[in-house]
Amino acid sequence: MKSSLLFCLLLLGSIQLNAQQASDPHQAVYFEVGGAGLIYTFNYDFRFDKSRLDTWGMKVGAGGYWIQESGFFSVPLEINRLFGKGPHYFEIGAGVTFMAFKSNYYVWNCDEFSCEGTYYRDRTEIILPINGSPNAMGTLNLGYRRIPVGGGISWKVNLTPIYNQNGFWPLFAGAGIGYVF
């Protein structure tokens, strides 16, 4: 009885291992500079259809900093789609980045005789002015993602236009490196 139970467990384990080896990697963790997180973020990305990479997926991340009484925290959420065949993929996406900050933001007005600073407590600027914390910023994504067949080290570069109530900036960009499994 014990030997047949052990045999069944080993058989199930080997079937599961073979099934995992045959499928495409559909999850990724990576570090991104710029992009939807605005400064830097650690992200988790996954495909909704676990049998294909060239399909819809989602990314969620978190990042921020704290320096001398000023800080910034961001959480990007994005729906994205990959097009192509391994290892080369074109990526498109759209999302929103939620943020909170504590800022020592000054606007300086200078003339030939002196400079005068105006302090704004609930304002910061990351490419576009951001009024009030917490806040949100819309993001778009167009880029290249390299995903090795079978998983491993992956990297990406993207153009990330951003927008909020104060404007639109089409030339913001990002780059990331991580691991696909």
pLDDT tens by residue, 120-155: 666 677 788 888 889 999 999 999 999 999 899 999
Note the pLDDT of residue 3. 47
| Residue 153 CA to its chain's centroid (Å) | 16
Average pLDDT, the chain: 86
Portion of the chain with pLDDT greater than 70, in percent? 84
Please give the model's pTM, rounded to 2 decimal places. 0.76
Show Cβ contacts of residue 57 under 8 Å, excluding neighbours closer than 6 positions: 26, 45, 46, 47, 48, 79, 80, 81, 82
Domains of the chain, start order: 24-180 (2.40.160.20)
Give, as one character, the DSSP assignment of residue 160.
-
Which residue type occupies 53? L
pLDDT, mean of residues 165-174? 95
Q: Indicate if the pLDDT at residue 10 is higher than 60.
A: no
Q: What mean pLDDT comes out for the span 37-63?
A: 95
